[in-house]
Amino acid sequence: MATFELYRRSTIGMCLTETLDEMVQSGTLSPELAIQVLVQFDKSMTEALESQVKTKVSIKGHLHTYRFCDNVWTFILQDAMFKIDDRQENVSRVKIVACDSKLLTQ
Amino acid sequence: MLMLLLLRETVGGGLMATTTSGVYIHVIEDVVSKVREEFINNGGPGESVLSELQGIWDTKMMQAGVLSGPIDRSLVQRPTPGGGPLTHDLNVPYEGTEEYETPTAEMLFPPTPLQTPLPTPLPGTTDNSSLYNIPTGSSDYNTPGTENGSHASDVKEKPSTYMQPPSPWTNPRLDVNVAYEPERGNSNPQFTHDLYVPPSGKRKRDDSSAQYQNGGYIPQQDGASDAMPKANLEGNAFGITFVSDRKVPRDVTCSSSNIPQVDGPMPDAYDEMLSTPNIYSYQGPAEDFNEARTPAPNEIQTSTPVAVQNDIIEDDEELLNEDDDDDELDDLESGEDMNTQHLVLAQFDKVTRTKSRWKCNLKDGIMHINDKDILFNKALGEFDF
């Protein structure tokens, strides 16, 4: 089953990657097992986002850059406004990376 | 009525975590439980390693400020200790907190004894004779005294050997960066000095300096000539005069040590290094003193001088090419490594465009904006290009 390695770039993914790197460096963990852990993280994270999160968000902003390559969209927005439930966040610059959801079901 | 509705929401949640922190905790536990089998079976590292993994992961998450404590699972914006930024800098070494004491190597592996050789037995102690004597019979009882003494002295020397610097080239009195000053009274040129060291790829400069502690004389030669140079000591300087027709390197008189410089395609930065013979190595005891040795200092000095050279080159190149790339577009790639950049990772269902109006349907995303982690199930984006 294919997994998106996308979520490894999140905070939780980076913490896991760092932890695994340290343990592989110190010899506590084998690289193969570390990769297995990361793949499992991909699956667990995707599942959790599907099932446990109910938040809806609205994003508006000026599209500075767009790119579509290898079925991945990358947008760079400027002066973006995020409406999350009942609160709002404003950022001057944000990057959005999105993978094709249809690839997971294939 | 409203209060009842609110209560129902919270109670109805059950084990389902609705906060970001809660979702993260669930993911961590899910991952750990699913890989437990791999860790335990098939000769895996074991449960302890898995626990260590979870512990370090939890600690890093808390340091990043995205995870609340294991006890308090409500989404609370924890102020970072010390008033630092919430965003954890991933470029610094990991420092465990006291709460999750990261098992250090010392804890995992008992520290090895300081003395690897046998401890020195007290001389004259007959009990120790058994350590050194193979009991073959009563006749051996006469020898333990002497043998013990000799062995004791041998063993005594061992710790001291270990205590001393392992090699004479850690001798601090020899600084390879100053001109070589031989010992006084050494006026005998030794061309076949036993200073030969097989040139290795990355031998430290200090290694070769050890050979010169005896005050050995190193003849400097330039060109393919067989005539032997005459050596003379001039005060503290070390001078060599060539007797035959030979190019006199330009720096033969300017350096304090009066050692002729090797002529070759080297930048001036190397001259100071070249004036110190410590870093030279011989290809053979009675070699022809060709320019074969010129690569030697290059080999040894690859670290610093090449770095200097590269820096200079890179600076020039950067100046020349600085306008070639659009910085704004470059930020698309370089910004990926910036920890503080606002980032949204998600899947897209549909991306459409009408003229300059873009619309996209995203789902199952993690947002890191304004130092906060926010998860969403659905997102609608409307952008103007």
Cβ–Cβ below 8 Å for A53 and B382: no
Q: Using an 8 Å CB-CB cutoff, list chain B residues near A68.
A: 351
Tell me which amino acid residue B182 is: P
How do B230-234 and B342-354 pair as beta strands?
A: unpaired
The answer to whether B242 and B289 have CB atoms below 8 angstroms apart is: no
Residue B236 confidence (pLDDT): 52
Mean pLDDT of B110-124: 52
- B267 vs A93 pLDDT, higher one: A93
Tell me which amino acid residue A55 is: T
pTM for the structure as a whole: 0.47
From the CA of B341, how many Å to the nearest CA of chain A? 7
Per residue in A80-101, pLDDT (tens digit) is 999 998 899 999 999 999 999 9
Residue B298 confidence (pLDDT): 47
What's the burial of B317, exposed, middle or buried (CB within 10 Å: 0-12/13-18/19+)?
exposed
Residue B275 confidence (pLDDT): 55
- A19 vs B235 pLDDT, higher one: A19
Residue B367 confidence (pLDDT): 94
Mean pLDDT of B51-79: 73
Count Cβ atoms below 10 Å from residue B287 Cβ, excluding itself. 14
Count Cβ atoms below 10 Å from residue B286 Cβ, excluding itself. 9
pLDDT > 70: what percent of chain A? 97
Q: What angle do CA B263, B266, B269 make, to 5 degrees?
A: 115
Cβ–Cβ below 8 Å for B38 and A36: yes
- B121 vs B319 pLDDT, higher one: B319
Residue A65 has phi, psi (to 5 degrees) of -145, 140
The answer to whether B334 and B348 have CB atoms below 8 angstroms apart is: no
Mean pLDDT of B16-44: 86
Per residue in B305-325, pLDDT (tens digit) is 544 555 555 555 557 776 776
From the CA of A62, how many Å to the nearest CA of chain B? 5
Phi-psi region of A78 (alpha: psi -120 to 50; beta: other; left: phi over 0): beta
d(CA B199, CA B293) in angstroms, rounded, equals 10
Instruction: Tell me the pLDDT of chain A averaged across its residues.
Output: 92
The answer to whether B173 and B183 have CB atoms below 8 angstroms apart is: no
Tell me which amino acid residue B238 is: F
B369 contacts chain A (CB < 8 A): yes
The residue assigned the tokens 């000799």 is: B150
Cβ–Cβ below 8 Å for A23 and B28: no
Q: What is the ipTM of this complex?
A: 0.95
Where would I find the beta strands (DSSP E) of chain A?
56-69, 72-84, 87-100
d(CA B358, CA A64) in angstroms, rounded, equals 11
C-alpha B329: how far from chain center: 33
B83-87, B178-182, B336-340, B357-361 — which one is most confidently predicted on average?
B357-361
Residue B18 confidence (pLDDT): 72
Helix-then-strand count for chain A, H and E: 3, 3
pLDDT at B228 over 80: no
B53 contacts chain A (CB < 8 A): yes
Tell me which amino acid residue B89 is: D
C-alpha B303: how far from chain center: 14
- A5 secondary structure, DSSP code: G
